Structure 1
Amino acid sequence: MKTNRLSDTLAQALNDQMTKEAHASQIYLSYAAWADGEGFGGIANFLFRHAGEERNHMMKILEYILKRGAKVKVVAIPAPPSNPTSVNNCFEKVFEHEVDNTKAVYKIVKMSFNEEDWITWNFMQWFVKEQDEEETLALELLDKIKICGGEKATHQALYELDKDLEKTPDDATLARDVTTEEP
């Protein structure tokens, strides 16, 4: 009896996204290690937490593939890109990576819509919202760095940013979630 309820194309796309999430975890891990080596313990802590979050995304997809009866394909992930050259560059790279990941999520959403796989389409809505949150958070951090002076940020400004990120929550308030009661 056939128990797989994913098309071959959707199963492959989800496996590819699972690998992409594992790669994202490695990127955050690499950038966190870089930040720690540069003396930015708060920034490193923030990035280490995000490495774990990306791994959780990978596991969420892996479990979904299994629950739908398809095969999980664990493959090697690429090495992370080169280390950032500055705190500003680090968060520019983070933002660019998140935008790229959003495009990959949208591809699966569109594919599941076109195939009328409403269960997968619904499953992927969590990732759509998550990517909105990730991009918003990265942009908020880039705004803070811009206020600090961007590439020309002073040591004092970067110290304050580092201390701020040590306590910064891992999520962002999205415009669609704001109400008059909770602005």
Structure 2
Amino acid sequence: MKDLARLRTSIKEPVELILNQQIQMEMVSSSKYLAMAGWCDRNGFDYSAGFFYKQSEEERGHAMKIFHYLCDQGATALSPEVPSVPQEFDTLRSVFEGALEQEIAVTDSINRIIAVCRRESDFATEELMKWYVKEQMEEEYIARRCIDLFDQIPADQIFELDKQLSKVTYDGNVFE
């Protein structure tokens, strides 16, 4: 019976396992961004709050994309446990530094998934993960650029940086 169940999916166990771990990581990212948004809201950084609320929803979408992929392939997608995340930050800059650290960790995880896919000859999942590679390039770029702006704006104008976040776009070439 167990062998018959495995025939429903072409996804090998190591790939299924690491994809479920990625679902959890994406949901943790969503939770962290929600906490960042809340901190920004409480501290008067309205545009940054909006930016992080949007990021939280985007990360949840990333998790759901993998969740649906596993289900569609006949594999088992697990609803992840999400541990509590920090709710307080020292400064707006520390919020963005935390965001960059999280994005770098997600990028490293995506790269590990691709390595497992290659080892297991799972070309379909590797193809799916190419979308995530491109997405991570964008996510890291935006976080790095925001941190760079802290060095260019005087401390008494930090609310101007917050306001500029309402205009953040990235088209693959230009950060505005």
- TM-score normalised by structure 2 residue count: 0.91
> Whole-Å Cα distance in 1 between the matches of residues 119 and 81 of structure 2?
29
Which amino acid is the alignment partner of residue 168 of structure 2? T
> Whole-Å Cα distance in 1 between the matches of residues 73 and 118 of structure 2?
17
1:107 and 2:112 aligned: yes
| Fraction of identical pairs, as percent | 32
Which amino acid is the alignment partner of residue 47 of structure 1? F
> Whole-Å Cα distance in 1 between the matches of residues 171 and 89 of structure 2?
27
Look up the match of 2:143: 138
> Whole-Å Cα distance in 2 between the matches of residues 103 and 82 of structure 1?
24
Give, in angstroms, the shift of residue 167 of structure 1. 2.5
The 5 Å alignment of 1:50-89 reads: 50-89=55-94
Give, in angstroms, the shift of residue 81 of structure 1. 2.8
1:16 and 2:21 aligned: yes
1:162 and 2:162 aligned: yes
> Whole-Å Cα distance in 2 between the matches of residues 118 and 8 of structure 1?
15
Give, in angstroms, the shift of residue 82 of structure 1. 4.5
Unaligned runs of 5+ in 2: none
Q: How many residues align?
A: 169
> Whole-Å Cα distance in 2 between the matches of residues 145 and 79 of structure 1?
28
3-state SS of 1:20 partner = helix
Unaligned runs of 5+ in 1: 179-183
Give, in angstroms, the shift of residue 99 of structure 1. 0.2
Moved over 4 A (4+): none
- Quick check: 1:21–1:55 contact (8 Å CA) kept in 2? yes
The 5 Å alignment of 1:118-133 reads: 118-133=123-138
Q: Deviations over 1:112-164 (max 9, x none)?
A: 01111100110100001101110001011011111124xxx22xx11111111
Which amino acid is the alignment partner of residue 43 of structure 1? S
Q: Deviations over 1:76-99 (max 9, x none)?
A: 111113522101111111001100
- TM-score normalised by structure 1 residue count: 0.88
> Whole-Å Cα distance in 1 between the matches of residues 172 and 168 of structure 2?
15
3-state SS of 2:79 partner = coil
- Quick check: 1:22–1:54 contact (8 Å CA) kept in 2? yes
1:174 and 2:150 aligned: no
